[in-house]
Structure 1
Amino acid sequence: MARIRVSVLGPARLEVDGVPARLTPLTTRLLVRLVAAEGEPVPVRRLHRDVWALDDDGPRQSQRRRNEVQKRVLELRRALDPAQRGDAARVLRTEQSLAAPVPETAYRLVLGPEELDSSEFTDLVNSALLAAPASAADRLAAALALVRGRPLVEAGDEDFARPLVRRLAALHETARRQLIRSRMELGRHDLALPVAERMARERPDDQDVADLLGALRARLRERHGRELLRQPFPGGTDLVVVRGDLFDQADANLVVGFTDTFDTATEQDLVISRESVQGQLVQRLFGGERRLLDDRIQAGLRAFTPLRTERPQDKPRGRRVRYPLGTTVPLAVDGRRVFAVAYSRLGNDLVARSAPADLRASLDALWPAVARYGMYKPVAVALVGSGLARIVELDRTQLLLMIVESFAAHCRREPTTAPELRVVIRPADLERTDLSALGTYLRTSPPARALTGTSTDVGAGTGGQDTGAGAGEGGGAHGRR
């Protein structure tokens, strides 16, 4: 049997074995008229009146009417069965109508749901209305994908087409509303939104649709919670900027900046401030057990070669062994990793100092460790360098751009580093961070361009003297990050 497909949810078309059939306008209108009969036989007299739009009941016209209809029926049958395998007789049947005073030839179009898009559409929607949300959403999406425009458009506003058109239009409206509800039940408000937006464009005066769209948008904003920005990177990674606390990101690996000596001592704030990220790390993730953190860091540092060791008389407090900037120690904590990365130098005067080039090099060295040890979890990082680490050449916006650029450059080489880079900005820092600059950068920078740290003015400096307010990441008695 030939694979016949008649489509009337939009401009009418006929395909046989996947090949479009060419029909004249009158034959196309005949096909639409037979579809509108919904499987019922249509007498020749009515077919001629509806297809040719002529109401000629004169006795001498009956033979001419019959000839004109039969000519178009023959054309349609040839289109339905180009290989002459007998499919035309199965699909387009000749019958006798006994309703009139005199028996009259009639034609009936018999198509299964898989052969007629409006029937398939109806079956999919009706079954979806009784299905569970996931099944309903799948069937409704498949049904709506069949719709290409106004149903039975070639029939215009003719009486013979009006009942089916109204029913299909009502079913289309039901399908869209139910698809929105199903996707909302599944928590996929992002997929429900385009459907609601299209309905609102088509029906600008429908208050119910407007209310539904407003509720969807509000739910999406609520879902984002503390998210300020979300942007996909090439390779399946998302960049997310959130407002909040680094240590509240319980589902993510964390990046914590250290000095080149990896000091952890916070006693009397003489080496590392208790308010610094390192100080918070001890309290928030290690239960105040500084020695436990210190032992884990020192165990990890055995894999690295130190740069040098300071003399006690030169650096009487804190650790004296220095490591290269960019040295990254992965620490296992509660099923995730904390990446301790050295990006500033702790002077013998216990003041942490760094520079844009130091930060960029440290970030570039960080991501390979994240890719290797991060177990493909989201990775969260604060605005490293924004506190008392003395990177005064860059403001918070430039620091944010540098983090993003460095990560993007690495992901082009290693796209499976992490499913998400999450930059966490403290609420107090938001007013000094221009997220629109990041949005512009993401919108205008080609994904494949080489990011070197000198583009978008990152590292060039703006003279900003933003030294933070004591909750950043580094420093000692004179400079607590």
Structure 2
Amino acid sequence: MARIRVSVLGPARLEVDGVPARLTPLTTRLLVRLVAADGEPVPVRRLHRDVWALDGEQPHAAQRHRNEVQKRVLELRRALDPAQRGDGARVLRTEQLLAGPAPETAYRLVLAPGELDCAEFTDLVDSALLAAPASAADRLAAALALVRGRPLAEAGDEDFARPLARRLTALYETARRQLIRSRMDLGRHDLALPVAERMARERPDDQDVAELLGALRARLRERHGRELLRQPFPGAGDLVVVRGDLFDQDDANLVVGFTDTFDTATEQDLVISRDSVQGQLVERLFGGERKLLDDRIQAGLRAFRPVRTERPQDKPRGRRVRYPLGTTVPLTVDGRRVFAVAYSRLGNDLVARSGPADLRASLDTLWPAVARYGMYRPLAIPLIGSGLARIVELDRTRLLLMIVESFADHCRRDPATAPELRVVIRPADLERTDLSVLGTYLRTTRLPGAGADVGAGTGSQDTGAGAGDSGGAYGRR
């Protein structure tokens, strides 16, 4: 049997074994008229009146009209059965109607749901209305993807097409509303949004749709919360910029910058400031037990070769063993990792100093350690270098760009480093950080795994259109 596909959810078309059939306009209208009959036989007399759009009876032309209909029926059967395997007669059947003084020839179109798009559409929507949210969303998206435009378009607003067209139009609206609800039930407000936006454009006076769209946008704003930017790195996770506190990122591994001596002492703020990220690490994740943190760092440093050891008379306070910049010690804390990375040098005068080249080299060494020990979890990193490390050559915007550029360069070599790089910016630093510069970089730079330049601004990029909004809408009246 041939694979037949009749589509009327938009401009009518017929495909046989995947090949579009060429039909004359009258034969196309005949096909639409038979579909509109919804599986019922249509007498020749009515077919001619509807397809040729004639008013009233023309008894003296009955034979000519019958011949015209038969000619179009023959053309349609040949289109349905180009290999002459009998599919034309199977799908387009000839019947005799006995209602009246004499039998009357009629034609019936018999198609399985998989052969007629509006039948498949109906089955998918009907089954989705009784399904659980995930199954419902999948079926509704598949149903809406079948829609290419107004149903039975070639029939216009003719009486014979109106019942089926109205039923399909109502079902289309039901499917869109139910898809929105299903996606909201699944927490995928981002996928529900484009469907609601399209409905609002097509129905600007529908107050219910306007309220639904407003509620969706409000939920998305709530969901983003402190999120300022989200940009996918194709094949390499997401870049996210958030406003907040590094130590509030409970679902992520953390990066904490250290000096080359890995000092942790915060007594009297002489070596490490209590307000620094290192100082907060002691209090927030190690309960103020500095020795516990210090012991874990020293255990991790056994795998690295020091560069030198300072004399007590030169550096009377703090640790004296120095390690190369970029040395990264992964610490396990509550089932996640804290990556302690040396990116600045602590002078013997207890002043930390670093520069752009030092920071970039340290970042380039950090990412391989994250890929190896990070268990493929999100990674949260502060604006390293903006505090006591005194990288005065770079403002906060350029520090942010350096972090992102370094991560992007690494991901070109190793995309599976982390599912998300989350840059955490303190509220006090936000007004001095220009995210539009990062937006320009993301828009104009070929990111890891991208086949073309990525067009992304500084807004959230997590609202891609769902499959359920891919088809054209039914015509507005």
- Give the TM-score normalised by the residue count of structure 2: 0.92
Does residue 1:27 correspond to 2:18, yes or no? no
Q: CA deviation at 1:41?
A: 1.1
Deviation at 1:102, TM superposition (A): 3.5
Partner of 2:359: 359
Where do 5+ consecutive residues of structure 1 fail to align? 450-481
2:182 is aligned to 182
Task: Please report how far the alpha carbon of residue 439 of structure 1 lies from its aligned counterpart in structure 2 after TM superposition.
Answer: 1.2
For 2:13, the equivalent position in structure 1 comes to: 13
Relative contact order higher in (CA < 8 Å, ≥ 6 apart): 2
User: Alpha-carbon deviation of 1:40?
Assistant: 1.0
Deviation readout 1:204-239 (Å, 9 max, x if unpaired): 222221211111111111111111110011323100
Paired with 2:334 and 2:175, the residues of 1 have a C-alpha distance of 46
Secondary structure (helix, strand or coil) at the match of 2:114 reads coil
Could you tell me how far apart the structure 2 residues matched to 1:19 and 1:383 are?
58
1:32 aligns to what SS in structure 2? Answer: helix
Aligned to 1:310: 310
Secondary structure, aligned partner of 2:74 = helix
Report 1:91-240 matches (<5 A): 91-240=91-240
On the 8 A contact 2:12/2:32 being kept in 1, the answer is yes
- Partners of 2:448 and 2:267 lie apart in 1 by 48
Which amino acid in structure 1 is aligned with residue 446 of structure 2? P
CA contact (8 A) 2:344 2:358 kept: yes
Which position in structure 1 is the counterpart of 2:396? 396
Aligned AA for 2:369?
A
Task: Give runs of aligned pairs for residues 362-373 of structure 1, distance below 5 A.
Answer: 362-373=362-373
1:176 Cα offset (Å) = 0.4
1:380-411 deviations in Å (ceiling 9; x for gaps): 11011111211111111111111111111111
Aligned to 1:438: 438
Query: How far apart, in 2, do the equivalents of 1:418 and 1:80 lie?
Result: 54
Match of 2:87 in 1: 87
Task: Please report how far the alpha carbon of residue 361 of structure 1 lies from its aligned counterpart in structure 2 after TM superposition.
Answer: 1.1
**AA of the residue aligned to 1:37:** A
For residues 348 and 16 of structure 2, the distance between their equivalents in structure 1, rounded to whole angstroms, comes to 84
Q: Give the CA deviation at 1:56.
A: 5.5
Return the letter of the residue paired with 1:222. E
Distance 1:448 1:292 in 2: 39
1:148, 1:423 → 2: CA distance? 42
Q: Name the amino acid aligned to 2:166.
A: R
1:412 aligns with 2:427: no
1:159-216 Cα distance to aligned partner (Å, 9 max, x none): 1101111110000000000000000001111111111111112222222212111111
Q: Counterparts of 2:254 and 2:419 in 1: how far apart (Å)?
A: 14
Q: How many angstroms apart in 1 are the aligned matches of 2:411 and 2:85?
A: 58
- Indicate the percent of aligned positions where both proteins have the same amino acid: 89
- Partners of 1:17 and 1:70 lie apart in 2 by 25
- Tell me the distance in 2 between the aligned counterparts of 1:58 and 1:394: 89
Per the TM alignment, residue 447 of structure 1 is displaced from its structure 2 partner at its CA by 2.2
Q: Distance in 2 between matches of 1:109 and 1:215?
A: 45
CA contact (8 A) 2:233 2:448 kept: no
**Are the aligned partners of 2:311 and 2:320 in contact in 1 as well (CA < 8 Å)?**
yes
What's the CA shift string for 1:399-453, capped at 9, x where partnerless? 111111111111111111111000011111111111111112111222269xxxx
Distance in 2 (CA, whole Å) between partners of 1:213 and 1:399 is: 38
Stretches of structure 2 lacking an aligned partner (at least 5 in a row): 450-477
Equivalents in 2 of 1:102, 1:250: separation in Å? Answer: 83
In 2: Cα distance, 1:55 partner to 1:351 partner: 97
Q: Which residue of 2 aligns with 1:478?
A: none
**Shift in CA distance, 138/397, structure 1 to aligned 2, threshold 3 Å:** same
RMSD: 1.3
- How many residues align? The count is 449
Return the TM-score normalized by structure 1.
Answer: 0.91
Report if aligned partners of 2:411, 2:448 keep a CA contact under 8 Å in 1: no
Q: Output the CA distance in 2 between the equivalents of 1:177 and 1:235.
A: 32
Q: Secondary structure at the match of 1:114?
A: helix
The 5 A counterparts of 1:366-381 are 366-381=366-381
Q: Structure 1, residues 228-278: CA drift from partner, whole Å, max 9, x if none?
A: 110011323100011111111111111000011100111111111111111
- Contact between 2:97 and 2:103, CA under 8 Å: does it hold in 1? yes
State the secondary structure of the residue aligned to 1:400.
Answer: helix
SS across alignment from 1:15: strand
Q: Distance in 2 between matches of 1:394 and 1:55?
A: 82
Confirm or deny that 1:331 pairs with 2:325.
no
Amino acid of the structure 1 residue aligned with 2:270:
L
Q: The residue matched to 1:105 in structure 2 has which SS?
A: strand
Give the Cα separation in 1 of the matches to 2:399 and 2:188: 34
Q: State the distance in 2 between where 1:290 and 1:246 align.
A: 19
State the AA in 2 paired with 1:119.
A
Q: Could you say which residue in structure 2 is the equivalent of 1:54?
A: 54
Letter matched to residue 69 of structure 2: V
**Offset at 1:16?**
1.6
Q: How far did 1:353 drift? A: 0.9
Question: How far apart in 2 are the matches of 1:443 and 1:19?
Answer: 40
Find the residue that maps to 1:365 and give its secondary structure.
helix
Distance between the aligned counterparts of 1:19 and 1:360, measured in 2?
Answer: 57
Q: Corresponding residue for 2:455?
A: none
Q: Distance in 2 between matches of 1:273 and 1:59?
A: 103
The residue identity in structure 2 corresponding to 1:224 is H
Q: Deviations over 1:131-151 (max 9, x none)?
A: 111111111011101111111
Q: Take 1:179 and 1:236, find their aligned partners in 2: how far apart are those partners?
A: 30
Match of 1:475 in 2: none
